[in-house]
Amino acid sequence: MLLLVSGASGVGKTTARLHARHLLERRRLDDTYETAELFTLGPIPAVPTIAWRQEQVEVAVRHAIALEAEGKHLLFAGDPVPLGEVLAAPSADRIDIAACLLDVDEEAHLARLAQRDEPEELIQLHRSFATWLRAHATDPGHVPEAVTTDAWPAMRWERWVGRTPGPEWAMTVLDTSGRTPEQVGAELADWCRRAVAGDAPVFRAGWFRE
C-alpha cells in the first residue's frame, strides 16, 4: 500500500514522518514500512516545477508497487503532494492508496512558517494551498486547476477530475494544531496501521472503474 501524508508547507509532514518511523522501528515494524519523500527518490532540480513533482510522484508510486511485492508498505510524507496527484499518477491504478491530510489552524500555521523564516511573499501562497487541500479532502471538484495546470502530460486526471463529492472520495484528516511532533508522529503511525488493516479510508487499486 502507498500511504500518502499530504499537507501544505509548514504543517509538519517531514517531522511527523520521522517520529512515525521511529515508532514503527520500536514496534519492530520497520521491515514492513519504508518511508520516503521526494528528495529521497531522486535529485531535486534548482527550480522544481509542478510537472517535475508529478513525475516524481510516479516514481514514488512505482517504488510502492515494488515494495508491495515484498510485502511492504510505503509511507510517503514530507512534500506538499495532494491526493489527486497520487491518484492520477500513471501507475496508481495498480496499488491501494490511503491518504492522511495534516491540517493546522491559521494562527499555528503562520507561527510555524515564521519559525522557518519563510519569505513573506510565499506565506499567502502556503496559506491558500492549505485552504485548497482542506477542500480537496472532501471535494474532488474543487478547483482542480490548482494541480492540473502546467501538469506532467502523462498524468491521468480523468480518474477523478469532474467527480462530485461522494463516499468513494475519502481521506483521514489530522489537525496538528496544539499537538507536539511526538503526538502527531504517534497518530500517524496509528493511522498507518489502521489503513493497512482497512480501518481507515483507502482507494483500492482501480477504484475509479467502479
- Nearest-5° Cα angle at 96, 13 to 185: 25
- The secondary element (H helix, E strand) that includes residue 100 is strand 97-103
What is the spatial order of strands in the sheet that 172-175 belongs to?
33-36, 73-77, 2-6, 97-103, 172-175
User: What is the reported pLDDT for 155?
Assistant: 99
Q: Which domains does the chain have, with CATH numbers?
A: 2-205 (3.40.50.300)
How buried is 130 (Cβ within 10 angstroms: 0-12 exposed, 13-18 middle, 19+ buried)?
buried
Q: Count CA within 13 A, CB hemisphere, residue 32.
A: 11
Buried b (16+ CB within 10 A) or exposed e, 166-192: eeebbbbbbebeebeeeebbbbbbebb
User: What is the reported pLDDT for 111?
Assistant: 87
User: What is the reported pLDDT for 30?
Assistant: 64
User: 10-residue block means of pLDDT along the chain (210 residues)?
Assistant: 95 90 78 92 94 98 98 94 98 99 92 85 91 97 97 98 96 94 94 96 95
The residue with cell 482501480 is: 206
User: What is the reported pLDDT for 76?
Assistant: 96
Q: For residues 56 and 157, what is the distance between their CA atoms, to the nearest angstrom? A: 16
Q: Which three cell numbers stand for residue 127?
A: 496559506
